[in-house]
Amino acid sequence: MRLSRYFLPVLKETPAEAQIASHRLMLRAGMIKQASAGIYSWLPLGFKVLRKLENIVHEEQVRAGHTPMLMPTLQSADLWRESGRYDDYGEEMLRITDRQGRDLLYGPTNEELITDIFRSHVGSYKDLPLTLYHIQWKFRDEIRPRFGVMRGREFFMKDGYNFDLTKEDALHAYNRHMVSYLRTYERMGLQAIPMRADSGPIGGDDTHEFLVLAETGESEVFYDSAITDLKLGDRSVDYDDWDQCASIVKEWTTPYARTDETHDDAKFNEVPEARRMKSRGIEVGQIFYFGTKYSEAMGATVQGKDGKPVPVHMGSHGIGVSRLVGAIIEASHDDKGIIWPEGVTPFHVGIVNVKQGDSEADAACDAIYKSIEALGLEPLYDDTSDRAGAKFATQDLIGLPWRITVGPRGLKNGVVELTCRRTGASEELPPEQAVEKIAEIYTPHHHTERPEPMAKRSFHTWM
């Protein structure tokens, strides 16, 4: 993409309404614009990151054996009356009446809708196990929307639902979700720690939240620092292998890690003092096993092996996709701007032409641009007539992990400059070598962190 043809409305001033870094940086980098309280338009750069996260979530869900679909945002109140949650959910639910006087609501979550689909179409234990999910906008009329997309009223969420014949099957589904979530966050360059949590209005006995450590997080968290050393890395996971999934879950749930809701001082004090950490965290996902709560209330049964109807065991699992955009920035920025992890960056490399209009510099930039595109990667070429200082400031603000700087002086010696956004380290090298380095950086040695070059895959590898 050439910046002169893009829409990147960066702000020079720090917006007064933004209290935390991610909100400030998303506004300044032209990623979002508030439409009304807690509701945002996603401008091109923000939209690109949101789509990248969505794609990673899809890929990892499909890899785990879960099936994508799409349910509507507006739901009938009657279904929620069946489960009893129409009254229980409270003021966070946005209730709407249509011209026929029918009660609708903008879905805050989808347990009722999916259970209705299930009971209409699935009749036998032979159809199980089944896990369906979608990624769709939700609405919760939060009393105090704040921190930009982190606590919005309209937000984008992956929610998945498993249907199983027995509790054991459903617990495997729980484990499978935990493992797939760990992989998802790792691919986004994030560490999200599963913490034992409270079940809240969804109900149920088994639940973990995934928290990204950040000072600005809304949850108070207590953990054994040993958990921060755990990494899935590139180990291969067989999601049908119950023992492997269970042992990964055990690895991550053995060290103490809880939110204030379930914190237990006596247990925490058993952790060696040097490893006892108290901090804050951002909730980026949650998984639940809730047994037969919805299936019993809504008659979602299957014919069991003995021919008798049995209510299915269910769980639900959510990832806050739009919140993650903010959470990644909270975890990865400096005083100059965002620093995107390579797996989610909106563009793979920035090209800065310090002397636009100089025929040699222009030609070198064009050549680099074409070779990067030929790798299946996306460059963002600043071909505007801004002065060099302004171009660098924009690059730092929008946080692309790599920058190639091209100018007449370097070109005289046959070199351009390759700069790493995270470390600030630069090296001078011939343009072809700079491109080779970029190719190397984005080659997937490490399948959990680096994206495969786009050219090698279809647009939606998860479909």
Q: How far apart are CA 253 and CA 174, in angstroms?
A: 13
Q: How far apart are CA 429 and CA 418, in angstroms?
A: 8
Cα 67 to chain centroid distance, Å, stands at: 18
> Is residue 320 within the footprint of ligand ATP (CB under 6 A)?
yes
> Is residue 79 within the footprint of ligand ATP (CB under 6 A)?
no
Binds ligand ATP by CB under 6 A, chosen from 31, 105, 130, 157: 157
Binding map of Mg ion across residues 153-182, x = CB under 5 A, - = no contact: ------------------------------
> Is residue 284 within the footprint of ligand ATP (CB under 6 A)?
yes
Specify the residue for token string 């209330």. Answer: 297
User: Residue 287: which of 208, 212, 221 has the closest Cα?
Assistant: 208
Stretch that binds ligand ATP, among 51-59, 115-123, 318-326, 367-375 (CB under 6 A): 318-326
Considering beta carbons, is residue 115 or 286 the nearer one to Mg ion?
A: 286
Taking the complex as a whole, the smallest distance from the CB of residue 137 to Mg ion amounts, in Å, to 17
Considering beta carbons, is residue 39 or 69 the nearer one to ligand ATP?
A: 39
User: Residue 37: which of 107, 137, 138, 142 has the closest Cα?
Assistant: 142
Stretch that binds ligand ATP, among 127-135, 251-259, 320-328, 450-458 (CB under 6 A): 320-328
Binds ligand ATP by CB under 6 A, chosen from 82, 103, 127, 142: 142
Taking the complex as a whole, the smallest distance from the CB of residue 330 to ligand ATP amounts, in Å, to 13
* Residue pair 289/207 in contact by the 8 Å Cβ criterion: yes
- For 119, list phi and psi in degrees, rounded to 5: -70, -25
Taking the complex as a whole, the smallest distance from the CB of residue 182 to Mg ion amounts, in Å, to 17
Binds ligand ATP by CB under 6 A, chosen from 54, 111, 169, 283: 283
Binds Mg ion by CB under 5 A, chosen from 34, 175, 180, 286: 286
Taking the complex as a whole, the smallest distance from the CB of residue 152 to ligand ATP amounts, in Å, to 4
Alpha helices in 108-166 (DSSP H): 111-121
Supply the Cα-derived Rg of the chain in whole angstroms.
Answer: 24
Q: How far apart are CA 211 and CA 221, in angstroms?
A: 9
Considering beta carbons, is residue 207 or 419 the nearer one to Mg ion?
A: 207
Question: What own/partner pairs with CB < 8 Å and gap ≥ 24 does 89-95 have?
Answer: 89/201, 91/141, 91/143, 92/140, 92/141, 92/142, 92/143, 93/140, 93/141, 94/139, 94/140, 94/141
Taking the complex as a whole, the smallest distance from the CB of residue 142 to ligand ATP amounts, in Å, to 5
* Residue pair 221/279 in contact by the 8 Å Cβ criterion: yes
Contacted entry of ligand ATP, Mg ion, none for residue 285, CB cut-off 5 to 8 Å set by kind:
ligand ATP
Q: What is the DSSP string of 225-268?
A: GGGGG---TT----TT-HHHHHHHHHHHHSS-EEETTT--HHHH
Stretch that binds Mg ion, among 278-286, 299-307, 359-367, 409-417 (CB under 5 A): 278-286
Q: Amino acid identity, residue 203?
A: G
Of 37-66, which residues contact ligand ATP (CB under 6 A)? none
Considering beta carbons, is residue 293 or 403 the nearer one to ligand ATP?
A: 293
Residue whose C-beta lies closest to Mg ion: 286
> Is residue 316 within the footprint of Mg ion (CB under 5 A)?
no
Kindly list the residues in this chain that would bind Mg ion in the complex (CB under 5 A). 286
The contact set with ligand ATP (CB under 6 A) reads: 109, 140, 142, 151-152, 155, 157, 283-286, 318, 320, 322-323
